[in-house]
Amino acid sequence: MKLTPSRSLKEIAGLINASFIGSPETLLYGINEIHKVEKGDITFVDNPKYYKRALESPATLIIINELVDCPPGKVLIISKEPFRDYNYLTNHFRPFVQAKSAINETAVIGEGTILQPGVFIGNHVTVGKNCIIHANVCLYDHTMLGDNVIIHANTVIGSDAFYFKKGADGYEQMHSCGRAIIHDNVSIGAGCTMDRGVSGDTVIGKGTKIDNHVHIGHDTVIGQNCLIAAQVGIAGVVIIEDDVILWGQVGVQKDLTIGKGAVVLGQSGIGKSLPGNITYFGSPVREAREKMKELALIKQLPEIIQELRNIKV
């Protein structure tokens, strides 16, 4: 999430009543969790296991729960509860705003776009030209659609990220302040869900086509001209490059990359990054022909075991 206008370290520390290390006039331009952080951003860390990653990240300000040496070019805020303070900042700069109407007055709707009955369009949503938004589609705040986008009935775009921190009293949700962005000529089926980014953007690239009942997790970026069939589930922070095909009921774990031109056959489970231009199958996935051979051999195991039992020593 970008801060417009930028804010100084002194201002940010004042909002959460915390001490800081570094020049008070250092300017901050955005807020991002560690997966999406850029130079000029605010991020946080509350686990020693991830201190090094956060301190060496592009972030300019790190909210941290221990007094450590401040790396060159960075500033620190020392906080007892970085997660809480980070959530406070994202809520402060992008709070939940109750809708007053089905089509919010701040929304921008392009020429030639058709909105069927029951469509909800939230605050600061942008919809391009010549789109068709079918009945009961929900576009949450700050969602952006390009031109010629088709979204079928009961799909939800921009819902909260599934991102929780476990504490003594249960799970605390990270406030979602990112966006959902859909580029030109995308088609999305009925009953789909696309979470917005935690603090960055969840993106669907130009020309991609998505079937019914597909879920896309927070901060996932899908490339151009992909095909995603029914009941695919994609976790957060996934990168799917151009021309990828995921057939029905494929499951994709978080924080991995699927290379350009990869094809994943139905009901496969993807647990690690995959090179492009290969057809995959199985759970965990392997190259499809090798997986088929493996399954064929497994079917022969009972006969092989019986033969071994019959061998007299």
229-240 confidence digits (pLDDT tens): 999 999 999 999
Q: How far apart are CA 35 and CA 48, in angstroms?
A: 17
Residue 313 pLDDT: 56
One-letter amino acid at 275 equals P
Q: What stretch of H or E contains 222?
A: strand 221-222
- Known active-site residue 218: yes
pLDDT digit string (tens) for 29-76?
999 988 889 999 999 999 999 999 999 999 999 999 999 999 999 999
pTM of the model: 0.91
Residue 312 pLDDT: 64
Are the C-beta atoms of residues 270 and 250 closer than 8 Å to each other?
Answer: yes
pLDDT digit string (tens) for 283-309?
999 998 888 888 888 888 888 788 788
Are the C-beta atoms of residues 151 and 141 closer than 8 Å to each other?
Answer: no
